[in-house]
Amino acid sequence: MHVLITGGSSGIGKATAFAYAETGARVTITYNMGADRAAEVVERIRAGGGQAAAVHLDLEDHATIAPAVAAAGPVDALVANAVRWGTILPGGLAFKDVPASEWAAALHANVTGNALLVQQVLPGMRRRGFGRIVFVSSGIAEEGVPGPGVYGTAKMALHGMARALAWEAGRDGILVNVAVAGLTVTDAARPIPQEALDLLAARTPSRRLSTAGDMAALVLFLGSAANRNLTGEIVRDGSNAGRSAHAL
């Protein structure tokens, strides 16, 4: 099994790289600005006896996508995890204030970029009669949160993409799903005050927020041969807060 994980230089992508490596899979991660962080991930996997490589891919620069996939070589599984955060960081913009340029940039990277990425891996998966594709999405897409409207809209597009692809590629042994993260405790979550994290945890069924490792385990299942015939599904991690009035 060879897996290509975009955005494997940190957070959920990095944890997913380690999770695949532990199963003996060959792992290729992509990075954008974090070449050093990606090299550390590769080094750690190799030090543990695994096979890993890192390639540059910038979802904003579509010209980098095909060369990155070519450098990775034939892949059995694609984890489309990388994200251009845009105006969600540091706190989002009110809907009325989002300029057209931000809409264009966010959709260009997070929607079209991922579509072009899938186009690069699909023919090989078809030829080999096996493929797993996992899009990493966010509870924000379905829940709606004031502020990150552009981010949520772009993530929701991935749900539509997965549904369409599941039907189009299913007969070739390719299963396509979405793993929906709630607030996940990664470095990106560090600026969030503990009080706010506790509040969100209290609104989940299991009363705890997931770690990157928890998300990695979900992605690994969806994106491996252990997933025999689950496809076109939007699978929500338990860290998604406030889906039910019971949580109030």
Residues carrying an active site annotation? 151
Question: Which residue type is seen at 216?
Answer: A
Residue 3 within binding range of ligand NAP, rule CB under 6 A: no
Q: Does 238 bind ligand NAP (CB under 6 A)?
A: no
User: Does 83 contact ligand NAP by CB under 6 A?
Assistant: yes
Interface residue with ligand NAP among 39, 188, 217, 230 (CB under 6 A) is: 188
Q: Between residue 154 and residue 173, which ones bind ligand NAP under the rule CB under 6 A?
A: none
The sign of the CA dihedral 179, 234, 218, 149 is positive
**CA-to-CA distance for 217 and 239, rounded, in angstroms?**
13
* From 4-12, 17-25, 124-132, 160-168, span contacting ligand NAP (CB under 6 A): 4-12
CA–CA gap between residue 196 and residue 124 (Å, rounded) = 45
| Contact status: 10 vs ligand NAP (CB under 6 A) | yes
Return the structure tokens found at 101: 């340029």
* From 27, 55, 59, 156, residue interacting with ligand NAP (rule: CB under 6 A): 59
Alpha helix locations (H) across the chain? 11-22, 35-47, 65-72, 100-107, 113-128, 139-143, 149-169, 194-202, 212-222
Interface with ligand NAP by CB under 6 A: which range of 8-16, 19-27, 68-76, 163-171?
8-16
CA distance 219 to 202: 24
**Nearest CB to ligand NAP, comparing residues 50 and 148:** 148
- Measured from each CB, the residue nearest to ligand NAP is 11
Instruction: For residues 131 and 133, give the distance between their C-alpha atoms in angstroms, rounded to a whole number.
Output: 7
Quick one: which of 77, 36, 41 has its CA closest to 174? Answer: 77
Q: Residue from 4, 53, 176, 181 that binds ligand NAP (CB under 6 A)?
A: 181
Total residues at interface with ligand NAP (CB under 6 A): 29
Where along the sequence are the contacts to ligand NAP (CB under 6 A)?
6-7, 9-13, 31-34, 57-60, 81-84, 109, 136, 138, 181, 183-184, 186-189
